[in-house]
Amino acid sequence: MGQFNDKTVWITGASSGIGKALAIAFSDAGAKTVLSGRRVEALQDVANGLSTPSLVLPFEVTDYENLSSHVEAAWDWAGSVDILINNAGVSQRSLAIKTDPQVYTDLINIDLIAPIWLTQLQLPRMVAAGGAHIVAISSVAGRIGPPLRTAYAAAKHGLIGYMDSLRTEVSVRHNIHVTNVLPGSVATNVSRNALTADGSSRGKSDANIDGGDDPAELATDILAAITNKTPELIFAKGMELEAAKQRQSNPEALFEMMNEMGAQIAERYEAGDDA
């Protein structure tokens, strides 16, 4: 019997990258999956490769008007959603001084407001069901504030805050556990799909992302974090891991280091070297 044999997991952003890796890992562990995203064919391809029942439930995460109907569809299909994974999101690569304010609205809607809405709409159902587990895929960027990612860092920092606060209200009283996941560089299309200063997709990747960790390894660690009811999982190595730790242990030193690094990156970026 699989580790999650009697569970239903709803994953947003399930068509590729971390979301796809999670769908495979949960299915291999026996769970039924609800797969959401915008690309129907890609979601169906993921579903076709799973060994357990799945529901392809495509939607735009910021379509707030219809979000409650998607929640109803997921719960009607599964009977309950035992694990909700807020994974859908978009990153950013642009200097703040040159970024259109609309980019901030769009990105924060996708990366922060949308997962809050999806979570809020399910909380009463989760309480009535006797418990659940909510996972938010944030980022090390939400802890340390790297350059070229002001909107992204703001959204991911806010997501950590919302989930940490939510945990205080629901973990003891309602048996709803909350895990924040802070990945560093993971080999996905995150930088290729990142928004630029005018809101268009960047269209190319970063070397550190291309050489990042395997999403399957992150998925394995997330399943373990859920099993162990871990409040926060930092999945990073090297400088990214040390910076995330230093944000708490020695923030002044971190700020000084990031300021120097940010100045160098900003100069290169303005000169046209945004690799």
269: annotated active-site residue: no
CA angle (185, 187, 189) in 5-degree steps: 105
Q: What pLDDT, on a 0 to 100 scale, did the predictor assign at position 269? A: 85
pLDDT, averaged in runs of 10, over the chain (275 residues) = 90 98 98 97 98 97 97 97 98 97 98 98 98 98 96 98 97 98 95 95 90 95 98 96 92 92 90 72
User: What topology is assigned to 8-238 in CATH?
Assistant: Rossmann fold (3.40.50)
Q: What pLDDT, on a 0 to 100 scale, did the predictor assign at position 275? A: 52
pTM of the model: 0.94
- Write 224-230 long-range contacts (CB < 8 A, 24+): 225/135, 225/179, 225/181, 226/83, 226/133, 226/135, 226/177, 226/179, 227/3, 229/133, 229/177, 229/179, 230/179
Dist CA 173 CA 83 (whole Å): 18
Catalytic residue among 104, 152, 162, 269: 152
Q: What pLDDT, on a 0 to 100 scale, did the predictor assign at position 274? A: 66
